[in-house]
């Protein structure tokens, strides 16, 4: 079930998922958790399976209809089951954005490319977010 998890930020798996989304740097996961706790603009939704939050998507909606994805993660034991793709599709259905954008590393770029995002960047660039991914939603 896809649901708002900002009311569940104290749950252990939420911090674990944010840590995965932050390239396994615990200090950055805790920093992201604080932002979700204090910001009304940053939304955090997740998918639950048998009472466990197995995936999260954190985002911010902009006035121009763009959703900026800040975090997307699935617990390792639940990967390759369609949770990541499913969260993105549900987000598009429920929020009706014009586009989704995110910055990511090479592994994330492969995931976003596989779900239909245009991916720009290079493995030769420094930093964690060397790839910029954009998904334009057709208005039909």
pLDDT in tens, 24-58: 566 788 889 999 999 999 999 999 999 999 999 99
- Give the N- to C-terminal CA distance of the chain in Å, as an integer: 27
CA dist 128 and 78 (Å) reads 24
- Pick from 11-25, 57-71, 103-117, 122-136: least confident: 122-136
**In three state form, how does the secondary structure of the chain look?**
CEEECHHHCCCHHHHHHHHHHCCCCHHHHHHHHHHHHHCCCEEEEEEEECCEEEEEEEEEECCCCEEEEEEEEECHHHCCCCHHHHHHHHHHHHHCCCEEEEEECHHHHHHHHHCCCEEEECCCCCCCCCEEEEEECCCC
Mean pLDDT of the chain: 90
Per-residue pLDDT, 5: 94
Per-residue pLDDT, 120: 92
Q: Over range 97-117, report the average pLDDT.
A: 93
Q: So what's the architecture of 2-136 in CATH? A: 3-Layer(aba) Sandwich (3.40)
In the predicted structure, residue 128 carries a pLDDT above the cut 60: no
Tokens at residue 62, please?
Answer: 């902009």
Per-residue pLDDT, 48: 93
Confidence of residue 123 (pLDDT cuts 50, 70, 90): low
Q: Determine if the pTM surpasses 0.85.
A: yes
**The residue to which tokens 């239909």 are assigned:** 116
CA dist 113 and 110 (Å) reads 5
Per-residue pLDDT, 105: 85
Q: Over range 3-32, report the average pLDDT.
A: 86
Per-residue pLDDT, 129: 54
Q: So where are the chain's domains?
A: 2-136
């Amino acid at each position: 079930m896809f649901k708002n998890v900002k009311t569940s930020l104290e749950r252990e798996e939420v911090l674990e998922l944010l840590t995965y989304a932050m390239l396994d740097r615990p200090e950055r996961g805790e920093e992201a958790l604080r932002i979700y706790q204090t910001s009304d603009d940053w939304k955090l939704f997740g998918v639950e399976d048998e009472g466990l939050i197995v995936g999260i998507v954190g985002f911010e909606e902009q006035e121009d209809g763009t959703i900026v994805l800040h975090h997307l993660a699935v617990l390792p034991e639940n990967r390759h089951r369609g949770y990541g793709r499913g969260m993105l599709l549900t987000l598009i259905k429920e929020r009706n954005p014009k586009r989704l954008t995110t910055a990511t590393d090479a592994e994330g770029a492969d995931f976003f490319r596989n779900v239909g995002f245009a991916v720009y960047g290079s493995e030769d660039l420094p930093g964690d977010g060397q790839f910029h991914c954009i998904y334009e939603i057709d208005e039909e």
